[in-house]
Amino acid sequence: MQGSIPSKLIAGAAVIAVSLALSGCGSGFSQGTPAAGGLTSSDSELTVMIGSSGEAETKSVKEAVAGWSTASGTAASVVTASNISQQLSQGFAAKKPADVFYLSTAALAGYASNGSLLAYGDQLANKDDFYPSLVKTFTYDGKFYCAPKDFSTLQLIINADMWKQAGLSDSDLPKTWDQLESVSRKLTTTEHIGLGISGEYERLGSFMTQAGGNLMNEGSTEATTDTDANANALNYVKRLQASGGLKFTKDLGAGWGGEALGKGLAAMTIEGNWITGAMKADYPNVNFKVAELPSGPGGKGTLQFTNCWGIAADSPNQAAALKLVEHLTGKNQQLAFAKEFGPMPSIKSAASEWTAENPELVPFLAAADYAKGVPAAKGSADVVTELNSKLETLATSDPRAILAASQKNFEALAR
């Protein structure tokens, strides 16, 4: 789900879902007959539930599903959820979930652990085409559960006019933390800040990865929050704040980085590729460019965000659902989605064509090999929300104390 969505809605897409009771279990709301691979098969119509970023995404997905339905002979319809987290939870609890649905990273563990999801990843014909980091994100208890539908990485978004006015050129694009601090100060004027970002883990976490850290390990099985790497990252952000080159968007009177950039309140921000749709729709006269985030003490680093196509364990037509997902994640369809509403394909085979069609956005895709996922342990979204409340006061707080408190919370999830 991409588009002009504020950062907290993108990065925390399933905060509500994780806090709701995940009480569904795979007990079968109507039995289909076994098909190849142990999947159920029936004449039942497939229901596809999505959480859309807008009309373009809704139209694109509906046309893709309708086209597959006509070609396959399997009836299928798309439901656009007003609150997909809540509606998914209700469907599972009632044992009448959608057959196929958007599923966030944060919601995976809860639904996988109670048997609500079909672990179909290894049965995908195109399973080896997905970026390995995305496969890891949707692997729980050693099982690859669902196909990543698309993804985004965080990068540096720059107001090109302000950059030029400050006497900067492409040779000044920051490659290190020191260089980012330098250009942030140069870009700061009485009218705007050099770097304006949301004061939350879903943005500040990019610095943690550049320092060699993150809140949990790659499999979200171990808490790695209170570390020297993460402390270095937060202390660096404090240094940027103290230098006068960085402010959080709330202190600029903006809801997220795209608004800060669009309204001219910040010369740079850190956001995902969904910002491109927002800028085109809301701030078409702002000339901006994308650059890779600088390397830190730990090397290159950033965060990635993604959703997958979940399939219900209770679906009476899992075999058809699998075929639909293979179609929706195929090269041609993913490139069509990218063109129609902006997501970045989750498969390697689409990279060259996507790059040719979106040369100005290449930094987002360049990070596919090193980006780190957000914590996916059951309950992690709630812990991140609590952490974010503390990060907002980073300028006047002790980073180590913030991290120590969150370490205990993440340790409880890893048990």
pTM: 0.84
Residue ranges in 128-252 assigned as alpha helix (H): 132-137, 160-165, 177-187, 201-210, 228-243, 249-252
CA distances from 370 to 214, 292, 302, 359 (A): 13, 12, 7, 20
Q: Where are the domains of the chain?
A: 7-152+304-373, 155-301+379-414
On the question of a common fold for 7-152+304-373 and 155-301+379-414, the answer reads: yes
Residues 32 and 40: beta-carbon distance below 8 Å: yes
User: 228-243 and 201-210 are packed helices; what angle lies between their axes, rounded to 10 degrees?
Assistant: 110
Question: By three-state DSSP, how is residue 114 classified?
Answer: coil
Domain 7-152+304-373 in CATH 3.40.190.10? The answer is yes
**Which tokens belong to 283?**
């701030």
Degrees, nearest 5: CA angle 214-215-216:
95
pLDDT digits over 267-320, tens only? 999 999 889 888 988 999 999 999 999 999 999 999 999 999 999 999 999 999
Mean pLDDT, rounded, of the chain: 90
φ, ψ dihedrals at 270, nearest 5°: -120, 115
* Fold classification of 155-301+379-414 (topology level): D-Maltodextrin-Binding Protein; domain 2 (3.40.190)
Report the DSSP beta bridge partners of residue 357. Answer: none
CA distances from 414 to 208, 216, 228, 349, 408 (A): 20, 9, 20, 35, 10
Question: Where is pLDDT greater, at 156 or 29?
Answer: 156
Average the pLDDT over 236-256 and give the result. Answer: 97
